[in-house]
Amino acid sequence: MRSGFLIGLGSGVASAFLSYSATRGTSPLLIVLLGLLTPLPSLIAGFGWGWLSAAASAAMGALVTGLFAGPMSAAGYFLMLGVPTTMIAYLAYLSRPDPFDSEAREFYPPGRLTAAIALFAGALPVLFLPLIGGSYEGLREPIDKELRGLSQRLPELGMKSLTNEQVQAFTDLFINKLPGALAAYWLIVFTVNAYLAGRIALASGRLARDWPDLPGMTYPVGFPLLLALAVLASYAPGVVGIAGTSFTGALLIAYLIAGLALAHFIARGRAPWALWLVYALLILFGPYAAMAIILGGLVDAVFKLRQRLGAPPPSG
């Protein structure tokens, strides 16, 4: 227990310095890399030593962030990294006796774990509202300034500068879609880090549970209905609209993950080469391929495609 606590404290310090370095760096590539890896130390501590280690990491990370960047940054760190890391570490080891094997335990399903991460991602932009003055309108001035600076550089690329009306329209678009973009980006980063942390814990022998069957994961019943409600709420004004936009962004990424899981399930033992095709299309055609994969995830949720296909043959 003591070693897990100390490891949690150390991982919190590492995570806080990764976060601080990402916000203060000068190299764009280094800033992106450090930002992407910020949750990893705390997640490794959580998966390897349990949720109490993750909680210690969250507290220490917030404390170090507060000392170097101020209380608002500490609150942001705690919300964005501390709380979800502890929650996921707790859920990952939540278990009950296996009804079919008295000597085994049934752990929290990976689909429900991913759904929990997605729901937190949707809530995160709403939870940040008190830290940014209660509205994303406060970001209008810096976004407008950045767009005008970009517009002045467009002629160097052989393009026309943006008019004032175009700058205003793009600024409005950014403000309206920013909560959804933040939720989607956070979910992608956190999910990838959770997977990497789980693999590291498994390779080191510290993962105290079975590795889940990720291609076979399914979300809770009624989860697609949440996406429909989020899309409807995104047209509402005020906080409801912000919540609708943020949950729409998070749930679309959740079904992108579900669509990729479906592709892995279908390809496993049948046509492994098809996965290369799926990821190649995702890289080459970006949002168009992503929407097709999201649609696949939604169709699977409604029509239970994996149950109809049955268990795949051995992969060999």
Q: Which two tokens stand for residue 4?
A: 């897990």
Q: Say whether pLDDT at 90 is over 90.
A: yes
Radius of gyration for the alpha carbons in the chain, expressed in angstroms and rounded: 21
Q: Say whether pLDDT at 31 is over 80.
A: no
Nearest to 126 by CA among 241, 273, 12: 241
Sequence letter at residue 161? S
Q: Which residues, other chains included, contact 310 with Cβ-Cβ below 8 Å and sequence gap of 6+?
A: none
Judge contact between 198 and 212, C-beta under 8 A. Answer: no
Give the residue-averaged pLDDT of 144-150: 83
Select the more confidently predicted residue: 224 or 316: 224
Nearest to 118 by CA among 276, 301, 265: 301
In 117-227 the beta strands, taken as DSSP E runs, fall at none
Q: Which two tokens stand for residue 252?
A: 């679309």
Query: What length is written for the chain?
Result: 316
What is the tens place of the pLDDT at every residue in 41-89?
Answer: 999 999 999 999 999 999 999 999 999 888 998 999 999 999 999 999 9
Give the residue-averaged pLDDT of 261-289: 86
Partners of 95 in the β-ladder? 107
Burial of 249 (0-12, 13-18, 19+ CB in 10 A): buried
Give the residue-averaged pLDDT of 206-216: 91
What is the tens place of the pLDDT at every residue in 153-204?
Answer: 777 777 788 788 888 888 888 889 999 999 999 999 999 999 999 999 999 9
Judge contact between 214 and 260, C-beta under 8 A. Answer: no
Burial of 310 (0-12, 13-18, 19+ CB in 10 A): exposed
Start-to-end CA span in the chain (Å): 40
Please tell me the pTM assigned to this model: 0.89
The pLDDT value given to residue 97? 87
Rounded-to-integer distance, Cα 154 and Cα 146, Å: 13
Burial of 81 (0-12, 13-18, 19+ CB in 10 A): buried
Burial of 22 (0-12, 13-18, 19+ CB in 10 A): middle
Q: Which two tokens stand for residue 77?
A: 């760190």
Q: Classify the C-alpha dihedral 46-49-55-60 as positive or negative.
A: negative
